[in-house]
Amino acid sequence: MGKRPEGALYADEEESLASLGTHPLPLPEGREGEKIALGPRLAKTSRMTPDALAPFIDPAAIVIVAGGTLAATILRTPFRDLARGVAALATLPRRQLDAAPLIDQVAALGRIARRHGVHTLDRSVIADADVAAAIAEIVDGARPTDVTRLLDERRRARILRHAAAADMWAGMAEVAPAMGMVGTLVGLVKMFLAMTDPAAIGAGMAVALLATLYGALIANLVAMPIAVRLRRRARAEAEQRLRLVAPLAELADYGQPRSPVMSVVAA
C-alpha cells in the first residue's frame, strides 16, 4: 500500500468531517475537567478582596471629610445634645415602646386603690418614669387635670430631647457633603501644584474624587438613616405615651375626696 501524500484525506475522512458541520469537537477528558473547574476559579477571582478595595481608601481624604464633619458637628451642637445624640444610638436595636403593659399595670393599681385606698399606691414598684411620677402625684391628692398636665409636660420634654438627638445626626448629614467638597478642592489644588510631576498628579486626583465619595457615603448611609430612625421612634413613643393619659386621669379622679351629697347619690 503506497504512502499517502502529506495533507491528503481519504474519502471516508472527508465525509466524516462534513457530517460534523459546525458542531464543536468534544474536549478530551482532561480538558473537560479544566472547563468544569473554570467556574469556581472565575467566582473566586470575582470576589471583593482587600487589594481590590485599596484604591478606594485614601487617608488624607478620610481625615478631611471625617474630621471636618466631626468638628463642624461639635461646633454647631451643644454638648448636652451631643451626648444625647451619641446615647440615642443604644436605643436603635431595642423594641419600640408598647403602652399596653403599662395600661394593664395602671388598671391593676386602680383595683388596689379601690380595695385599700389610693394612699397604698406609694409602695408600688413602677419601672416607667412617667407612670411613677403620675402615681406619686395621685397619692399626694392631685386632680385629674394636674395629672394630665404633668404627663403632657413630660411627653413634650421627651419629644424635645429626642428631636435634639435626631437633629444632631441630621446636621451631620448636611455637613458631610460640604466637607467632601472641601476635600475635593484640596485635592484639586494639590493636583495643580504637581502638574510638572506626572507621577504626583494621581495622589491629588485621588483626594479630590474620594473626598466627594466619602461625604456622600457618610451623609446617606450613616448620618441621615440614624436621624430618620430616631425621629420615627420618637413619634411612635409619643403616640404610645398619649394612651396613658386617660387611665391615669381616671385613677386620679377616683382618688379625689367625695362630698356627702355625691356619696348619697352614689349610694
For residue 264, pLDDT beyond 50: no
Q: For residue range 99-148, what is the model confidence (pLDDT) as tens digits? A: 999 999 999 999 998 888 888 888 888 999 999 999 999 998 889 999 99
Q: For residue range 5-31, what is the model confidence (pLDDT) as tens digits? A: 554 444 555 555 455 454 554 544 544
Task: Kindly give, in sequence order, each residue whose CB lies less than 8 Å from that of residue 134, ignoring residues fewer than 6 positions away.
Answer: 147, 150, 151, 244, 248, 252
The average pLDDT across 136-162 equals 93
Q: For residue range 49-62, what is the model confidence (pLDDT) as tens digits? A: 667 777 788 898 99
pTM over 0.85: no
Residue 69 buriedness (CB in 10 A; 0-12 / 13-18 / 19+): buried
- Dihedrals φ, ψ of 87, to 5°? -65, -30
How far does CA 3 lie from the centroid of its chain?
83
For residue 47, pLDDT beyond 70: no
For 164-202, letters b (16+ CB in 10 Å) and e give bbbbbbbbbbbbbbebbebbbebbeebbeebeeeeeebe
Q: For residue range 171-193, what is the model confidence (pLDDT) as tens digits? A: 999 999 999 999 999 999 988 88
The average pLDDT across 240-262 equals 79
pLDDT of residue 266: 44
Among 231, 235, 254, 251, which residue's Cα sits nearest to residue 150?
251
The gap between the terminal CA atoms of the chain, to the nearest Å, is 135
Among 145, 140, 142, 168, which residue's Cα sits nearest to residue 231?
168
Cα 92 from Cα 32, distance rounded (Å)? 53
pLDDT of residue 12: 52
Q: For residue range 178-233, what is the model confidence (pLDDT) as tens digits? A: 999 999 999 999 888 888 887 778 888 888 899 999 999 999 999 999 999 999 99
* Region of residue 10 (phi > 0: left; psi between -120 and 50: alpha; otherwise: beta): beta
Q: Which residue has the cell 466637607?
A: 179
